[in-house]
Structure 1
Amino acid sequence: MEAHRSVARSAEVVMLGDTAYDAGFDGSPSVRSRVVSGAIRMGMRPFLHRVPGHARGIRTARSTVDAASLLLRPNQRVKVRQVVDPRVESGRRRRSLRGEWIVTRDTGSTQDVQDARDALDVEHARPHGAVLYLHGGGYVFCSPRTHRSITARLALDTGLPVFAPRYRLAPEHCFPAPLEDALDAYRWLLDRGVPAAGIVIAGDSAGGHLAASLTAEICRTGLPRPAGTVLFSPWVDLSCELSIQAQRRARDPYISARSARRVARLVVGPAGFDDPRLALLACPWTDTPPFLIQVGGAEVLRPEAEELARALNDAGADCELQVWKGQMHVFQILNRVLPEADAAMRETSRFIRSVVAADPAGTEAA
């Protein structure tokens, strides 16, 4: 709790238009944060800067990431069930839905044990809410397994089950295939009795782009509106125009704007960047749920997060932007190591609890 209180005491304010936004942790980065950032700058960034812009290289790198994820120690306080549902239909095609259903396994009483079993029994349970988490990885890497440090923490902090779908990746499946899969996942939750007023959509990096795009698509198509949306270091501008401009000023230890642009060309495929569902900054953002955006102060994607917050603000949406001083891209994934990441996840839990508790009847009807 001390880390959480220090966030509130040391918050700075970012002005976007006429609206003030809490800017999150304004203290100097912790020793742990500086050490980790330095190690990543020396070890990971040279590799990521050379991410290949062709399909064969991407597949090789993906296999490496997937193999490394098998070494990650699972959190013993949560239980993970693999979900494979073959009944999702899209037009004339029948497409299966895959992912992970994550719940806390706290066993303080017999009722807690039964509640955990019921939450895992997604065919019969009717949870009062859930987090739909869309993992990052540039739309080409990673999986629900690689992001369990975030999804497990969300389940533990909020008490809500977390569903992390395994959406299709580029270059085999270009956009909008990931968005179609995310929509399937949202409908899957609704079909199983989870009320829209209890669903929070969340994602990091490319998953942050996907979470925002999914929120916009839900509002555009008239599906029941979710309770809120959380974005960690969102990759807002896939054309990378803003991040290329910011590259010289930012001291991002992790992300290279130029390598991101190479990957983006694979994500959009032959259709290019003309799909309006890619352009988050041009989205009308009418009748959207509340947003929480967290971004590291040192990362190259910070200007994109600020511009998205500005666009939401201009549309009249409720958006809370937190800029965490000195932090790198998706620092929340290190929430068991970095005090700033721990505090950021507490802030996320605070936001999720507040929006899920807000007038469910009114949100459901929107």
Structure 2
Amino acid sequence: MPSIRSQLFKFYFRVRNSRLPLDRPIPDQRETMDRRGVKLLPMAEEMLAAPVDAFGVPAEWIDLQHTRSNRAFLYLHGGGYFIGSCKSHRGFASHIARAGRCRLLLPEYRLAPEHTFPAALLDARAAYRFLLAQGFTHDRIVVGGESSGGGLALALLQTLRDEGMPMPAGAVLLSPWTDLLGTGHSVHSRAKQDPWLRPAGIPLLANRYRGSVPADHPLVSPLYGDLKGFPPLLIHAGNDEILRDDATRLEARARSAGVEVTSKIWMGMWHAFHAFYPWAPEAKLAHKEIGEWVVAKTEAVPDTERRIETGNDSISRRSYRRRSAQSGSATQSRTTAEDGGGGLDRRPDQRRQPELTPGR
């Protein structure tokens, strides 16, 4: 049974958000999310945020004052791939960093519709490589995010695995958006209970983000991807959100692929309820569980590297290379797109890159 405070929050936002049109101007929605994020969840006590350039991706370091943990969390914010920023998620991320006793890197990856797939994925991968270049070992790094950020984290894991790069110690997925086709039963069965999301919004947001690739491409809808070789996953979702089945189906597919999964469906809770810490008691408890899981996974360092060598014949890379060849796109990096420069090899770190093509 959810707490009375959580039930009141859910009722208020369900009534309030039901009156908002889905096609509001995007700049207005971005401004609203930034303002709401700052108001809803300020920075945790004794936490600091500092700007950093993560191989061409603007980002913020968030960590405790006067400390430098050797544990890192790459947090990818949610927002349907078209809204969200350091400003909107700084406070939320600071509480996760505090719970996990880690340094948290919060990148401002490029947003749709100005930058379609795979721009956000390229930026997420650059941020992960930045952590490695900063001296964090892969077994002391956790990746994750809420909503679309959770889906992006799963796409990042596929990319790292297919490149043969060192895999992180685990991934934290909070109400992850894993199926851009919106085929989960909960999309309609929980529509009246979800105070944030509406079924009609799924194809709208999916079409903004996916660019020229189909909605079931494994790097935009990780539910349809190959999950073998993934590190341990922590999956949270609310029972009263339309993306509940994105989480439950992900859990089932991950387990069938031999992945270690810790999963919890929070009864009576809504999409990404974790952002309501400390107002909702369930969110406070969820943050505690996230922190304990992060600490446990980054302290239990395995004897061998958690990395998978797959070569050039992996399904996700092969399918994307074929579609890229058909579209005739040219690979560009964030820092050279405007001047027509070369691809991702132009970033400061010269390690091997996947064959992904920005949707510019």
Distance 1:128 1:75 in 2: 20
In structure 1, what is the Cα distance between the partners aligned to 2:254 and 2:99?
Answer: 27
Partner of 1:5 in structure 2? Answer: none
For residues 292 and 39 of structure 2, the distance between their equivalents in structure 1, rounded to whole angstroms, comes to 31
Residue deviations 1:216-250 (CA, integer Å, cap 9, x gap): 2111211101000000000110121226x631344
1:217 and 1:287 map into 2 onto residues whose CA distance is 12
Query: Distance between the aligned counterparts of 1:76 and 1:346, measured in 2?
Result: 16
Q: Which amino acid aligns with 1:314?
A: S
Shift of 1:280: 1.4
1:51 corresponds to which of 22, 27, 34:
22
After superposition, the Cα gap between the structure-2 partners of 1:314 and 1:45, relative to the gap in structure 1 and judged at 3 Å, is same
2:264 is matched with: 322
Q: 1:103 aligns with which of 49, 53, 63?
A: 63
Aligned partners of 2:244 and 2:269: how far apart in 1? 10
Q: 1:141 to 1:321 in 2, by over 3 A?
A: same
Whole-angstrom CA distance in 1 between matches of 2:228 and 2:76:
22
The alignment's C-alpha RMSD in Å is 1.9
Shift of residue 276 of structure 1? 3.1
The total of aligned residue pairs comes to 306
User: Where do 5+ consecutive residues of structure 2 fail to align?
Assistant: 309-360
- Give the TM-score normalised by structure 2: 0.80
| Deviation string, structure 1 residues 111-141 (Cα, Å, up to 9, x no partner) | xx3xx2xx3xxxxxxx522000000000001
Does 2:44 correspond to 1:75? yes
1:305 aligns with 2:247: yes
- 8 Å CA contact 1:149, 1:334 repeated in 2: no
Matched residue of 1:182: which SS? Answer: helix
Q: Which residue of 2 aligns with 1:362?
A: 304
Separation in structure 1 between the aligned mates of residue 111 and residue 173 of structure 2, nearest angstrom: 20
| CA distance, structure 1, for counterparts of residue 53 and residue 146 of structure 2 | 23
Instruction: After TM superposition, list the pairs within 5 Å mapping 1:11-30 onto structure 2.
Output: 28-30=1-3
Per the alignment, residue 31 of structure 2 pairs with 63
Question: Counterpart of 1:247?
Answer: 188
Query: 1:295: Cα distance to partner?
Result: 0.2
Taking the aligned partners of 1:186 and 1:302, their CA distance within structure 2 comes to 28
Determine helix, strand or coil for the equivalent of 1:132: strand
1:211 matched residue in structure 2: 153
Deviates more, 1:297-306 or 1:146-155: 146-155
- Structure with greater proportional helix content: 1
Shift of 1:58: 1.9
What displacement does 1:172 show? 0.2
SS state at 1:102 partner: strand
Alpha-carbon contact 2:165-2:307 (below 8 Å) kept = no
| 1:51–1:58 CA contact under 8 A, matched in 2 | no
Aligned to 2:334: none
| Percent pairwise identity | 33
Aligned mates of 1:301, 1:237 — CA distance in 2: 9
Using the TM superposition, give the Cα deviation of residue 264 of structure 1 relative to its aligned residue in structure 2, in angstroms: 1.2
Q: Indicate the residue corresponding to 2:233 in structure 1.
A: 291
**Structure 1 residues 59, 317: CA separation in 2 closer, same or farther (over 3 Å shift)?**
same
Give the structure-1-normalised TM-score.
Answer: 0.79
Q: Conserved in 2, the CA contact under 8 Å of 1:226 and 1:363? A: no
Q: Map 1:176-195 to 2 at 5 A.
A: 176-195=118-137
